[in-house]
Every structure is written in structure tokens, then in C-alpha cells.
Amino acid sequence: MIVNKHEIYHSMNGSINIAGNEVQEAINFIRQVTDFRPQIALILGSGLGNLIRRIDTASEIDFSEIPNFPISSVQGHAGKLIFGYLHRDSLCSIPLLVFQGRVHFYETGSIERTAFPVFFSYQLGIKKLIITNAAGGINNFFNIGDLVLIQDILNLAFVQLPISCNNSKLTKQKHFNYFDAEMKQLALQCASKIKIPLHLGTYCWLIGPSYETPAEIKMLKRIGVDAVGMSTVPEVFFAHSLGIKTIGISLISNLAAGISSEKLTHTDVIKTGVKMTERFSELMEHIVLSLK
């Protein structure tokens, strides 16, 4: 929760500074550039930025122009903020905020920088969030190009996430369900309607940037992980703590080490994202147009 520039999140062993004044400076800049008021945010993962082609853009801003905004150094993350709408026939979405790319924890070593877009979205008034990523498939039933609706998350990056929550109802829960049930059901209905297979699975966050070893994948498979990647979990965690309704969707961009005998490269991840972007974009379009 960011209420003023002096507030911080507390972890079990101290505190992690969440610089509310830095977020506010970014918000103030946006307010000067555009009066657009988004209600849904989308974070697009590696190679998935082509969804932008379907958006009627009201404003487009480079991350580098926004004060304090973290900038990705990874190929496939364009680093743009898009405000606009999705249209299909007579249908029009509610106002959108799209992050064309993200910063990973391994790029900065800072949870604050990784989670910055979530706090930024919250301060802009975002109530719903769709997080996407390119992930390695571990489940034997997954193929390259498959889409997976994330059911649960696992943090094996061994990065401590601070414990805090601005919602008294959430603090009383014995078990956190990080993803919104209604949004998940809507995603499944949309996928069924347009006949795009949408798997269900558990997503595991590892710190990266190196890919997993076959031994690591064997371990993850044994403990029930379906897909693995280097992002998403911090954003999901903080979105949940802020009361933002969230779903996560993974594109299986490669089969993980030991599942496939092929050598893994980030270039291949990007190529898969681009190749499968039409199917991904179609599903995203239907989900966004169905949200109110």
C-alpha cells in the first residue's frame, strides 16, 4: 500500500523501502502528459508485445521518459507504456494501460524496481490486472505455443517478499488465493468460445537469468510445477496485497531443460512469442472486451 511518501513495507527481518514519492513523481508526469484514466492494466512478457497492434492508442510513452520508471535491458521488452482501447466490431473495451515489457528482478536486484509498475498502476486507479509471461513448459502435456492460465504460484527465487497488506479482509485469510476467481472463469469461457486451448497450471519463479538445469527441472516436476520463468510472482504478490484483481497467463515458449533435448536460448523464446502472438492476442482481446 502506498499512501504517502513516508510509508514503507515491512519484512520479517526489517523493512524494504517502497519509495512512494518516486511513484508519485511518475504519476505526476503522466497526469501532465495525458488525462486518460485506465481501469485495467496488462503487463506483456517476452515476445508478447505485438498485442499492441490491436489497440487504438490514445497515448504512447517510453519508460525512459517517465521519472523513476525502471527500464528493461532484455530483448523482447520494448519498454513502452500504452494507453488506449481494444475494439472489435461494435465492441469497445474499458480504458486500458499496457506495459509493453517489464523489468526482471535479476536485472536490478531490487524488488522495489520489479514491483514499481504494480504500485504505479494502483496509484493510477487500476482495479484489474492481467499479467503475462513466456515460460518454460515442464508438464508433459504442454507443447510449445500452448497457453496456460496460472492457478497458483511458487517462489523458488529465494527472494523474500515483504509482508504487508492494505486490506483487512485479506490479512485474516489463512490461505491466499492470489488470482481472482471470476476473472479466471471468464478467461476459460473466452478460450472455450474461440476454441483456443487454455491449460491450468502452477507457475514457479526462479531468479535467472540463466536457464534451469535438467536436475532443477526434474525437481520442479516432482513438486508439481507445470511452468517456470523469471518473472510474474513479485507482481502478483503485490497486486494481491493492494487488492487488485489479477489473473496470469503464460505462453509456453520452450520446453524446459530435460523435457526437451534442444539448447535453450532467449532468441528462441522471442521467436515463439512472435510466432504465436496471433493466438495469444486473440484470447487477450476476448478477455479484455469481456471485462467490465
- The percent of residues in the chain predicted with pLDDT above 70, rounded, is 79
Read off the pLDDT of residues 111-149 as tens digits, 9 standing for 90 and up: 989 999 999 999 999 999 999 998 999 999 999 889 999
pLDDT band, residue 51 (cuts 50/70/90): confident
- Identify whether 231 is a catalytic site residue: yes
Residue 3 maps to a domain: no
Residue 1 resides in a domain = no
Q: Is residue 60 part of a domain?
A: yes
As for how many domains the chain has, the answer is 1
Q: Is residue 157 part of a domain?
A: yes
How confident is the model over 238-245, as a mean pLDDT? 94
Nearest Cα neighbor of 1 from 10, 202, 190, 259 is 10
Residue by residue, DSSP assigns 39-90 as SEEEEE-TT-GGGGGGEEEEEEEEGGGSTT-----STT---EEEEEEEEETT
As a whole number, mean pLDDT of residues 148-161 equals: 93
Q: In whole angstroms, how far apart are CA 215 and each of 115, 192, 211, 262?
A: 30, 36, 12, 15
Region of poorest pLDDT, from 12-21, 96-105, 214-223, 273-282: 12-21
Catalytic residue among 19, 68, 87, 106: 106
What pLDDT is attached to residue 2?
A: 37
Task: Kindly state the percentage of the chain with pLDDT values over 90.
Answer: 61
With 90 as the cut, is the pLDDT of residue 82 above it?
yes
218 pLDDT above the threshold of 70: yes
Q: Which domain covers residue 83, as residue numbers?
A: 9-290
pLDDT at 6 over 50: no
CATH number of the CATH domain containing 100: 3.40.50.1580
> Can 240 be counted among the known catalytic residues?
no
pLDDT at 45: 81
pTM of structure: 0.86
Q: Is the pLDDT of residue 77 over 80?
A: no
Q: Is residue 35 part of a domain?
A: yes
Per the prediction, the chain carries an average pLDDT of 84
Q: Which of 26, 41, 134, 284 is catalytic?
A: 134
Question: DSSP character for 258?
Answer: T
94 or 270, which is more confident: 94
106 is catalytic: yes
Q: What is the DSSP string of 83-138?
A: EEEEEETTEEPSPEEEEES---HHHHS-HHHHHHHHHHHHHTT--EEEEEEEEEE-
pLDDT at 163: 57
State yes or no: pLDDT of 277 exceeds 80. Answer: no
Structure confidence by residue, pLDDT tens digits, 160-195: 887 544 554 444 555 568 999 999 999 999 999 999
Active site (annotated) includes residue 77: yes
Of residues 9, 22, 107, 212, which has the active-site annotation?
107
| pLDDT bucket at 5, cuts 50 / 70 / 90 | very low
DSSP state, residue 212: P
Does 230 participate in catalysis according to the annotation? yes
Amino acid identity at 92: C
46 annotated active-site: yes
pLDDT at 7 over 70: no
Whether residue 4 lies inside any domain: the answer is: no
Would 141 be classed as within a structural domain?
A: yes
Let me know if residue 230 belongs to a domain: yes
